[in-house]
Amino acid sequence: MSDWILASGSPYRRELLGRLGRDFEVASPDIDESPRPGESADELVVRLAESKARAVAEGRPTGLAIGSDQVSERDGTILGKPGDAATAREQLRGASGRTVTFHTGLALVDAATGEAQVAVEHTRVRFRELDDAMIERYVAAENPVDCAGGFKSEGLGVVLFDAIEGEDPAALVGLPLIRLVRMLEAAGETLP
């Protein structure tokens, strides 16, 4: 059994990984998360997830580093975390009545070998028609400034949706657990 290192300061990812019933270390990597020119949403999240995992695996003789990153994409435009309430409201106005795709990159890096497993999970969220009053109430209630797309699906954000389509419900929150379990097993871990 290897030590696990979650390469993220996100409380959402920490809570999700905790569901697997194992102790793990948390390390927040300091990497540049800027998109590169011409980089697709999938390329961006895979690169960032792997960079995060490699950054925390570096210098360790053993352990499995887990990195993840997420962006939303609407009409070919990549949207990250809003960072403030005004941008969250703007992102939600743009999502009103539309389908937004969330790209969640996942990487598992073996510190001993440097071997990496990487993947992307896609989740499509179909938003209801949202009026300004609903958006204002929602943003005031949850302050979702640190969440891609400007909402928290695990909280009140569910009131904003008509439907969610994807293979892994945890992917929308930020850490695809179904895929991660497969990766951990491929790395020799036994779960549960």
State the Cα torsion 108-114-117-120 to the nearest 10°.
Answer: 70
Closest CA to 53 of 17, 15, 82: 17
Q: What's domain 4-186's architecture?
A: Alpha-Beta Complex (3.90)
Pick the catalytic residue: 3, 23, 32, 69? 69
The dihedrals phi and psi of 134, each to the nearest 5 degrees, come to -65, -45
pTM of the model: 0.91
Q: Averaged over 49-70, what is the pLDDT?
A: 97
69 is catalytic: yes
Would you say residue 1 has pLDDT above 80? no
pLDDT per residue as tens digits for the range 137-170: 999 999 999 888 898 888 899 999 999 999 999 9
